[in-house]
Amino acid sequence: MKKVAIVTGSGGLIGSETVKRLLAEGYDVVGIDNDLRAYFFGAEASTAGTVKKLSGLNGNYHHETADIRDEQAVRSIFKKYGSAIKLVVHTAAQPSHDWAAKEPLTDFGVNAVGTIHMLEATRESCPEAVFIFTSTNKVYGDAPNSLPLVELEQRWEIAPGHQYQLGIDEHFTIDQSKHSIFGASKVAADVMVQEYGRYFGMPTACFRGGCLTGPAHAGAELHGFLSYLMKCTVSGKPYRVFGYKGKQVRDNIHSYDLVEAFMQFANAPRCGEVYNMGGSRHSNCSMLEAIALCEEISGNKLSHTYVEDNRAGDHIWWISDVRKFQGHYPNWHYRYGLREILTEIHAACVG
């Protein structure tokens, strides 16, 4: 049997990019995706179309419509392929702050319980397989909001000369802050992935993402910042800006660059690692800056309104310090900057 990779959330932005890359690398890929995204965000966010396209690429993609909250379903998939499984990329998640507060049990079931099902099935059937988890910068909660920030005309920015001027690193506290329900469930999963690496000696890594984006993103108001913003700019649909005067800053990483980081780790794995992974100083913007760039690229004006209340636990300023990962994997480099990312998203919106 050829080497097998398991990819959860295979119809999503990062999952589908991972599947395509692994197929090109010669893996047999087993995708697990039951289109919960449509339940979370509505039909426009469904992953069914992407899964159909993946299934048509070649005969080496095998789809499983399983729910990772179902322990027996997960274990049976892993037992089917056993030690042939060399890589597990776990991207499936409930990804929204706002949605999590509506159904905390569903959020925790998918994000935390589903993750331990994946870890235990890996330990049981293929303990030497590399396990990669897409975590989030929301594990840091709103603690970054305590940093000394300066209000500029178009963005909030960290005080000059501060130790985090190049971005927030992995030593920043995740404790005693408001995470949102979503952030808390991802903390539970993140720590467990680390623990299976450190306690059981399994090759695991948590990639704590900033804004993950790209043209395959099925953006919705509650998740998918740049994708949904460009979609509204192109279509004329009204957009709402939540709090912080629209000057909140996010770093943005293209799905291609993130998956390239996954592959670097998979080819030279370590145990129980944690990496902040985002656009860093290479690719970041405020909401106001993103709106201006979307309007420039599309030639349209965005119809938007401002809502004074920010989302609970939301960051005012986030830029990832990716130097730890770059130190471990010096051959990894960005391919995409912010303008290139938005140009691709615009092409996908009008295509």
> What is the predicted pLDDT for the residue at 351?
81
**CA 255 to CA 40: how far, in whole Å?**
21
> What is the predicted pLDDT for the residue at 222?
60
Q: What is the DSSP letter of 86?
A: E
Is the pLDDT assigned to residue 218 strictly greater than 80?
no
* Domain annotation covers residue 54: yes
Q: What is the DSSP letter of 220?
A: B
Place of tokens 């401002």: 306
pLDDT tier, 296 (very low <50, low <70, confident <90, very high otherwise): very high
Is the pLDDT assigned to residue 224 strictly greater than 80?
no
Quick: pLDDT tens for 41-99. 999 889 999 999 999 988 899 999 999 999 999 999 999 999 999 999 999 999 998 89
Three-state SS sequence of 104-153: HHHHHHHHHHHHHHHHHHHHHHCCCCEEEEEEEHHHHCCHHHHCCEEECC
Average pLDDT over residues 284-289: 96
Residue 29: what are its φ and ψ, rounded to 5°?
Answer: -115, 125
* Domain annotation covers residue 221: no
> What is the predicted pLDDT for the residue at 44?
84
Helix (H, G, I), strand (E, B) or coil at 316: coil
* Domain annotation covers residue 89: yes
pTM of the model: 0.95
Contact 107, 99 (CB under 8 A): yes
* Domain annotation covers residue 307: no
- Which of 1-5, 37-41, 62-66 holds the top average pLDDT? 62-66
pLDDT tier, 335 (very low <50, low <70, confident <90, very high otherwise): very high
* Domain annotation covers residue 174: yes
Quick: pLDDT tens for 168-216. 999 999 999 999 999 999 999 999 999 999 999 999 999 999 899 988 7
What share of the chain has pLDDT > 90, as a percent?
89
Number of domains the chain contains:
1
Report which residue type is found at 169: D
* Domain annotation covers residue 208: yes
- Best CA proximity match to 2, nearest among 89, 61, 65, 54: 61
* Domain annotation covers residue 98: yes
Place of tokens 């966010």: 45
Listed in sequence order, the residues at least 6 apart from 68 whose beta carbon sits closer than 8 Å to its beta carbon are 8, 32, 74, 92, 110, 114, 115, 117, 118
Taking CB atoms within 8 Å and a gap of at least 24, the contacts of 92-96 are 92/8, 92/9, 92/12, 92/15, 92/32, 92/33, 92/36, 92/68, 93/9, 93/134, 93/186, 94/36, 94/40, 94/182, 94/185, 95/40, 95/136, 95/182, 95/223, 96/40, 96/41, 96/182, 96/222, 96/223
Quick: pLDDT tens for 303-332. 999 998 887 778 999 999 999 999 999 999
Average pLDDT, the chain: 95
Quick: pLDDT tens for 127-176. 999 999 999 999 999 999 999 999 999 999 999 999 999 999 999 999 99
Q: Measured in whole angstroms, how far is the alpha carbon of residue 251 from the centre of its chain? A: 12
| Helical packing angle, 13-24 and 255-267, nearest 10° | 50
Is the pLDDT assigned to residue 1 strictly greater than 80?
no
> What is the predicted pLDDT for the residue at 48?
94
pLDDT tier, 220 (very low <50, low <70, confident <90, very high otherwise): low
Listed in sequence order, the residues at least 6 apart from 79 whose beta carbon sits closer than 8 Å to its beta carbon are 124, 125
* Domain annotation covers residue 294: no
Taking CB atoms within 8 Å and a gap of at least 24, the contacts of 327-333 are 328/270, 328/273, 328/275, 329/261, 329/264, 329/265, 329/268, 331/264, 332/260, 332/261, 332/264
Q: Give me the domain span that covers residue 186.
A: 4-144+164-215+253-280+315-336
- Enclosing H/E stretch for 275: strand 273-277
Q: What is the DSSP letter of 205?
A: E
CATH code assigned at 320: 3.40.50.720
Residue 27: both structure tokens together: 């893996």
> What is the predicted pLDDT for the residue at 189?
98
